[in-house]
Structure 1
Amino acid sequence: MTHATYENPVLNADWSDPDVVRVGDDFYLTASSFGRVPGLPLLHSRDLVNWTLVGHALERLEPEEEFRVPRHDGGVWAPSIRHHDERFWIFWGDPDRGVFQVNSPGIRGPWSRPRLVEAGRGLIDPCPLWDDETGEAYLVHAWARSRSGVKNRLTGHRMHPDGRSLLDEGQVIVDGDLLPGWFTLKGPKLHLHEGRFWILAPAGGVATGWQGAFRSRGFFGPYEERVVLEQGDTAVNGPHQGGWVRTAAGEDWFVHFQQRGAYGRVVHLQPMRWGDDGWPVLGAGGTPVAAHRRPDLPPQPPAAPATDDDFPGGRYGRQWQWTANPGDGWAVRHCADGLRLTCVRSPGAGDLRVLPHVLTQRLPGRPCTAEVELRLDGTEPGARAGLAVLGDAYAWIGLERGGDGTVRLVHRFAEAGAGPERDAARPAPAPAGRARLLIEAGAGARCRFSYDLGDGPRSAGPVFAATPWRWVGALFGLFAAAPAGPGPAGSATFTRFRVTPR
């Protein structure tokens, strides 16, 4: 390998359903955020290989009452990002409510409040297109069978050029049921290229699917189809669902995801060219590349979305998301000694999967060690705080105040489903109310937990195999909680969070 090549994945964590746009010399990427808050992450790059997280376009999820609790299968599904009329536009589908959009004059905002463009259950994966030559605008979307009973088809609409509403009831423009071998067609991205409408859309399911391309002289069809990227003899399962972008120099590239179990949907970059027959050719003749020549763009220093956090002034970084809309006072502002989380009282305090006040970030796709220092100031029996690996099953390590007022180090886990927490190791006295907590996440997302109470690291419990949630990879989480009851229950302070490659 040389400095002139890159390796896939270029984003080795759960940046699900990516889409990308170029504005001048800058590239911007957004991804699904489902029920986590803030939503619609915004990533920036100058070379399509090195990316940084620069913000989010969605401060809270609406309606407010529906997202006061975790909803990992709701919220923001498969957004599309475009730049039109000197504004950024992001459209997405909420499978329970319909098609939404936000827009902004700059990537860092201010972003508009979400606008419901089209109401309806099961409307997902929308993508707009403005035809600058005719002044007309269009939108295409897919369907979620879980909400509508419909799937495997793409519906097209004329859209008002202001992006605020649709102008017709729409019609099916690609019916996957009429294409032999095609199933679970979704995630369309709409483009104009050399006088044709193009829809780049995946099919075949998350784990084993492929990338399709459809072309037509008219927006409403008829469309021809072709498979343009599939696994072949590579190790990249289900390479599909992403976005096409062209550099200022005229090079074409395609970003897509690969489902990797507990790691979620990691992002690959594929070279793209147009064949003599006018169809796009992705990767190495239609199969994914593991490494390739970098885009012909100015060299950039290595960069990746942040993971470490010193919580300056008590603030947490952009990489953190709550598992639901946050409440006032969950994080104490202007704290000089770290991130202070309130031990929020909740009847579900014994199951992290139902708590909205868990602060999370993505599990890296490579082996790593996560560590954080914790001080428990929770005053009520049952007050607890810790570091977790969250999914359908979860495990955590941290501190808990017992009924006798003492603090102890605990390590607990819960199996997939609604089973209760169980001890993964015997509790240990932690009289100082402090601990350094560590999770070594090895190959296959197999996690070993350990702790240091001031006398050196000690292992805690057996290996825990991290699991994904529905549509979402596993997450690292920080939390503070207490059983339901009156009055304040104290707080917990986290300092020096680090994620170190292994």
Structure 2
Amino acid sequence: MAPLYRNPVLNADWSDSDVIRVGDDFYLTASSFTKVPGLPILHSRDLVNWTIIGHAVTRGHADVRPGCGVWAPSLRHHDGRFWIFYGDPDVGIFQVSAADPRGPWTEPHLVKPGLGLIDPCPLWDADGQAYLVHAWARSRAGVSNRLTLHRMAPDAREVLDEGALVVDADRLPGYRTLEGPKLYRHDGHYWIFAPAGGVATGWQSVFRSRSIFGPYEDRIVLEQGGTDVNGPHQGGWVDTPSGEHWFMHFQDRGPYGRVVHLQPMEWRDGWPVMGADGVPVPGGPVPVPGGEPAAPATSDDFAGPGLGLQWSWQADPDPAWWELRDGTLRLTCVPGPADLRERPAVLTQRLPGDPCTVTTRVVLKGAGRAGLAVVGHTSASVTVEPAPDGSAVVRAGSAEISVPEGTAVTLGARVGEGAVVTFLADTGDGPRPLGEPFHATQGRWVGAVLGLFAEGDGTGQAIFEGFTVDIARWTAPVDLDPLT
């Protein structure tokens, strides 16, 4: 019997993902907003088991700007290079490229400046012509629900015209928030795969035309139906070496972010059919048998030589913030906003979509405060900080434990169903809950994150000895009935 997979195949916030195949290898990228580094690059051999292999951008902003930065990207392979196009809604459309997806990547190049230009996707046609389609963000441009197509220079340095409106969804009954276009050519048609209807409640549409400039006819090809997969849309179409077709899309899960599902896809009467006749499936046979079990990294022993690829900062990092030494992560207790949501010097990673227990062991030396946090629209943390009497205090909310100064303390967080977080502390007699449970919340277009931080006047230091994420993964058999 062929091995089975269960959705979501990436059960964390890999938002707005796009996927391609090059030879026998699959590659995926996702929006990263203000995370630094950004544009993560993932690799798989079977579309189910994925690992992080790098990032395509290494700089962002000096301060935290929730909801800004790198919006939905498209990933392509052309002329021996990997290309990623993305929109920064406050600046314009950028591209980066690399001969090796692990890098190095070129510095971001501005292809088209302008406010509200988002979700770009290129197409290099068989005749050598190049094109670029994009959507619009009403918050910056004043318009949305439409797709614009440009002729583009084949070297992707610039667009060559003012653009043509190829899909005006205001003219389509029931459409709202049409965005995220992906441009393809197949079977004599130009295709635009584009989601609509909003992040949490939308659907996946496709548009086809014999001419790239239209007119386009549309069809909805994936929607929630009787399943519990809300808003299934926005992703990428990819084939396997054996010629099967698949579609990867996201589902918005609030504090867990936009998790990634894998749907079988077939061409029927000239149109793609996704999932089980247009509704999501809970799983099925792995697309390419023989792959090794893998998942994006979470735990980190801080053995170096660099931070694990799962980590990102909330803004451009200063080298003075951190150091890896002797199998530990040393965070300097640097000044900055007390509100962790506004603090650049928070080292974060995605909140797992499955229940999990997170632990780290920390020693605080000198003045400051350090700890483990969960950050979204709201934030909470368990910390270690000095006390006036020369001891130290482990604190979560209004609850606290006194320990001798310089004591190594294990801090933890147990994340249960519904993203309910219970902070833990172990001062030598085993872990125990500390403080009231906290409901994690999503941030601006992103899920909540786990974070490590140290704050103070710059004289103290927090020494973290490892970071462990124990995920309670679902192991029950896959039910192939999409309605259960």
Equivalent position of 2:252 in the other structure: 259
The alignment's TM-score, normalised by the length of structure 1, stands at 0.92
Deviations 1:470-493 (A, max 9, x none): 10101000011115xxxx322111
Q: Distance in 2 between matches of 1:459 and 1:270?
A: 40
Choose from 323, 336, 344 the match for 2:334.
344
Instruction: Quote the residue 2:27 is aligned against.
Output: 28
Alignment-derived partner of residue 171 in structure 1? 164
Q: 2:349 maps to which residue? A: 361
Deviation at 1:428, TM superposition (A): 2.8
Query: Of 454, 479, 482, which residue of structure 1 is paired with 2:456?
Result: 482
Distance 1:55 1:197 in 2: 32
Which segments of 5 or more consecutive residues in structure 2 lack a partner in the other structure?
A: 473-484
- Structure 2 Cα separation of the partners of residues 100 and 408 of structure 1: 47
In 2, the alpha carbon distance for the partners of 1:146 and 1:52 equals: 34
| Equivalent residue, structure 1, for 2:384 | 399
- Kindly report which structure 2 residues correspond to 1:231-380, keeping only aligned pairs within 5 A, or say none: 231-276=224-269, 278-295=270-287, 297-313=288-304, 315-333=306-324, 335-346=325-336, 348=337, 350-377=338-365, 379-380=366-367
Q: 1:187 aligns with which of 177, 180, 185?
A: 180
Deviates more, 1:67-76 or 1:177-186: 67-76
Distance apart, 1:426 and its partner CA: 3.4
Q: What is the TM-score of this pair, normalised by structure 2?
A: 0.96
- SS of the counterpart of 1:312? coil
The residue number in structure 2 matching 1:71 is 65
2:329/2:466 contact within 8 Å kept? no
Contact residue 386 and residue 405 of structure 2 kept, 8 A: no
1:229 aligns with 2:228: no
91, 101, 108: which is aligned to 1:114? 108
What is the CA distance between 1:328 and its match in structure 2? 2.3
Question: Structure 2 CA distance, aligned partners of 1:236 and 1:450?
Answer: 32
What is the CA-CA distance between 1:85 and the residue it aligns to?
0.3
Secondary structure at the residue paired with 2:435? strand
Rounded Cα–Cα distance in structure 1 between residues aligned with 2:305 and 2:240: 40
After superposition, the Cα gap between the structure-2 partners of 1:210 and 1:289, relative to the gap in structure 1 and judged at 3 Å, is same
TM-superposed CA distance for 1:71, in Å, is 1.4
Q: Which residue number corresponds to residue 59 of structure 2?
A: 60
* CA offset digits 1:346-404 (Å, max 9, x no partner): 2x1x2111110100000000001000001111x23xx1000011111111002012345
Deviations 1:277-314 (A, max 9, x none): x010000000000011221x241121100111000047
Which residue in the other structure is 2:475 paired with?
none
Does residue 95 in structure 1 map to residue 89 in structure 2? yes
Deviations 1:235-271 (A, max 9, x none): 1000000000011211110000000010000000000
Q: Which runs of 5+ in 1 are unaligned?
A: 62-66, 413-422
Distance 1:129 1:211 in 2: 20
- Count of matched residue pairs: 472
Secondary structure, counterpart of 1:134 in structure 2: coil
- State the distance in 1 between where 2:194 and 2:432 align: 49
What is the identity, as a one-letter code, of the residue corresponding to 1:76? V
- The one-letter code of the counterpart of 2:442 is P
Asked if 2 retains the 8 angstrom alpha-carbon contact of 1:399 and 1:433, the reply is no
Corresponding residue number in structure 1 for 2:39? 40
For 2:74 and 2:193, locate their aligned partners in 1 and report how far apart those are by CA, in whole Å: 12
Aligned counterparts of 2:88 and 2:404: Cα–Cα separation in 1: 45
Show the counterpart of 1:499: 469
TM superposition shift of 1:433: 3.1
1:430-483 Cα deviation digits (max 9, x unpaired): 434321011000001001111011122222011111001010101000011115
In structure 2, give the amino acid aligned to 1:499. Answer: V
SS at the partner of 1:174?
strand
Aligned to 2:123: 129
Aligned mates of 1:407, 1:314 — CA distance in 2: 31
Aligned residue for 1:177, secondary structure, equals: helix
Cross-structure match for 1:13:
12
1:80 corresponds to: 74
**What percent identity do the matched residue pairs reach?**
60
Q: Give me the whole-angstrom Cα distance separating, in 2, the residues matched to 1:30 and 1:22.
A: 12
State how far apart, in whole Å, the 1-side matches of 2:26 and 2:116 are.
30
Residue type at the aligned position of 2:384: L
Contact 1:409/1:430 (CA < 8 Å) preserved in 2?
no
Note if 1:451 corresponds to 2:450. Answer: no
- Closer, same or farther in 2 for the Cα pair 1:111/1:371, shift >3 Å? same
Alpha-carbon separation, structure 2, partners of 1:16 and 1:211: 15
Match of 1:435 in 2: 409
Residue type of the alignment partner of 2:378: A
Tell me by how many angstroms 1:427 deviates. Answer: 4.8
- 1:196 equivalent to 2:189? Answer yes
The equivalent position to 2:138 in structure 1, one of 128, 131, 145, is 145
Q: For residues 25-57 of structure 1, what are the alpha-carbon distances to aligned partners after superposition, in whole Å with 9 as ceiling and x for unaligned?
A: 000000000000000000000000100111101
SS of residue paired to 2:161: coil
**What's the secondary structure of 1:371's corresponding residue?**
strand
Following superposition, the deviation at residue 160 of structure 1 comes to 0.3
Quick check: 1:332–1:341 contact (8 Å CA) kept in 2?
yes
Task: Go from structure 1 to structure 2 and tell me whether the alpha carbon gap of 1:430 and 1:408 turns closer, same or farther (over 3 Å shift).
Answer: farther
User: Is residue 385 of structure 1 aligned with residue 379 of structure 2?
Assistant: no
**Separation of aligned partners in 1, 2:455 and 2:404:** 18
- Once superposed, which parts of structure 1, at least 4 consecutive aligned residues long, lie more than 4 Å away? none
Q: Distance in 2 between matches of 1:360 and 1:460?
A: 22
CA distance, structure 2, for counterparts of residue 123 and residue 404 of structure 1: 56
Match of 1:471 in 2: 445
Per-residue Cα deviation, 1:1-46 (whole angstroms, up to 9, x for no partner):
x652211000000000000011000000000000000000000000
Give the CA deviation at 1:408: 1.2
Quote the residue 2:480 is aligned against.
none
Question: Are the equivalent residues in 2 in contact too, given 1:9–1:269 (CA < 8 A)?
Answer: yes
